[in-house]
Structure 1
């Protein structure tokens, strides 16, 4: 296992109590893209993670603060063909839930996308005892630059997502769903991190 940037001298052992389960991640998402996305939308660092297959991960945070920041994006992120959608307000969260219940399952079958928004939960004890679990770790420092480039041929009504990728993956504005768009069509800022989103109310 490898320490992440800014993790100090504690290492994985020191961060073992700050663990979370993440699910509903797109299969094709690379480790670098996932970890950069978490940093971009929550402002938190991930020290290392364990791949559990099927779009699921156990992540290890460097502090309680980072753990709470990542928990704050529970049910706020939906992986799509061209990037991710981020719900920042209570109204956008409600609309995201509506979209998932009405549209996401259909597109999931066509494009092999997650059927639900990204789940961030406390790690359950039984996850550590799963048999035949694939384990992987990722070195966080000196990551190569990555680009998220996905086909948009399967979008509803044949629409394309705007491309706003630079040296690291940036995230698309949403296409207009057959029900209603739900994310503010404003590009993500270029700063390396964002302030934490408003508290998520379940």
Structure 2
């Protein structure tokens, strides 16, 4: 939604009343989706009898971190991040989960998280010395950025949007990797693509 709103507000074809109307409708849709997401999350928390949980999906393939650090790496890899001077720089990106005390990914059917974070660092080896840690509670959306809408015409780009309006752009190696990153981030945000779920 954030990407769509940015396109509407930045393209000259959308002007005047049309721009205002479409922007207002996008904002209304974002608010409705946000309310629905909160309702769904609340229902999931209230339903302790549920044997299948979004958390089970999130934890698929999770790897434990160093025991002295704790937590799990849900998904990680090397991407390129667009810096403020519009240069693409190689970076290590990961989704980190910290489970509630006493819980493990192997023996708890529906573990609860103490925290979920997106971590960006120069490399995996330097992650705990120097990194940017962003709690998922500060994030709002993730979306693909078509070549013509990023400043360097780069392929395989996706953007992570903050609730503050800030956004970070990342470039994956290919569309499949970009889609995997977006899917994992959407799972954690609780906004997964539901189009493919209809029979």
TM-score normalised over the length of structure 1? 0.26
TM-score normalised over the length of structure 2? 0.26
User: More helix by proportion, 1 or 2?
Assistant: 2
- Greater RCO structure (CA 8 Å; 6+ sep): 1
User: More strand by proportion, 1 or 2?
Assistant: 2
Tell me which structure has the larger Cα radius of gyration: 2
